[in-house]
Amino acid sequence: METPSTTPDAQSPETPLPPETPPSSSPPPAPVPVQQPKAKRRFSVVLLVGLVLVGLVAGGLVGYAVSYSSLNSKVNSLQSLINSSSENATYLSYPNATYLLAGNVSLSQVYRQVQQSVVVIQDLLPGYNIFLQQVYSEQQGSGFIATVDNQQVIITNNHVVTGTINITVTFPDGDSYSAKEIGSDPLADLAVLTVNPMPSDLQSLTLVSSSTLSVGDPVVAVGSPYGLQGTLTTGVVSAMGRTITESSDSGQTGPTIPDIIQTSTAINPGNSGGPLLDYAGEVVGITTAAVSSSQGLGFAIPSDTIMREVSTIVSTGTYNNHPTIDANGIDMGYQISQQMNVNVTYGFLVESESTQNGLKGGNIAAYDDQGNQITIGGDIIIAINGTRITNTDSLLSYLEQNTLPGQTVNFTVVREGKTQMVPVTIGKLSQ
């Protein structure tokens, strides 16, 4: 018998088995760990990431549901509030905004309500050319129908008709009538006209007290700016109690008028004399465009002035009961207070008084912030009947609203550095 060779035969197709190891009493070697396939590890990582993403998505959905529920509750509450107030409000929608107007009224409703009561006033103003030949220039303004002492009249600005001839009034239906002036008050820029006979189907506007107005209240002006009949503009009350000095087209300075409404409503030539209205279509003032360099600002005579005067104008042809303290002065300020060695930086400083009405003027020459010469040393008016007076505007507005010529009123003044009460007799402002 042949024994197989232990040397492998390269030519042999089979590999011989190794020789058997004889049994041994030593322990067997430790097993070698088997490495898991990489494909299985990648699957585990993907599974873990998937579980995390699922958790995040689920948590987000739960949070969104809670937030949406809370937001939806708030929206429903807001919608309920809007619905509950819808009876008192109207919405105006524009491309980028929605405006809520109080009083269940829209601007178009206001316009339809008042347009038939606003008229165009035209007249001729005589003058002379450079060759001293008489010429006539055409003027135009606005006016509105009101009832005064059971008589329908047309109210407008005094500067629209003063010194003019051939006054005509054109109503919204196109009918024109010759008109005449019943009376006027240049110091309040008011005039009252009549047409004889007045058309029987005219609707008068209602006047309400302007004392109810506050800064920020919406207002509407209707008139004929630049001849464009029936134009509506709107804005808000910008300030109350202003003092303006009117000027004519020729540049002449007119009267100084206190207690004026300032508004952002566009007021242009031709608007003068038209009504300033609240959103109920009631008159709170009469617009005036006779203020030069007032770009972006509108002014109106308050309805309180109209109601105080118009009955007297209709019955007597004029109103001559404007109060005055018969004194010249300026607004107090820090620089003036330093020159006077007082700690009061507000009020009205009396420079001179023309009558013995209880006030005392100054006698020391000084200069204001702009370098203008002033007179200091006089009374500083800081209150009237307990109402604080901060400047000229507040002084003149208080006098116009609350006093009459001949009254004696308690003024609080700073005189020679001491605060004291002075009884002042109110005078009458001459036209």
| Residues catalogued as catalytic | 159, 189, 272
How many Å apart are CA 50 and CA 48, to the nearest integer?
A: 5
Nearest to 243 by CA among 255, 227, 231, 228: 255
Report the b/e string of 399-415 with b at 16+ CB within 10 A. bbbebeeeeebebbbbe
Contact in structure between 245 and 260 (CB atoms under 8 Å) = no
What is the dihedral sign for C-alpha 334, 338, 344, 349? negative
Nearest CA to 182 out of 172, 170, 190 is that of 190
Of 297, 221, 301, 286, nearest to 264 by C-alpha is: 297
DSSP string of 192-206?
EEEESSPPTT--PPP
**Measured between alpha carbons, how far apart are the two ends of the chain, in Å?**
160
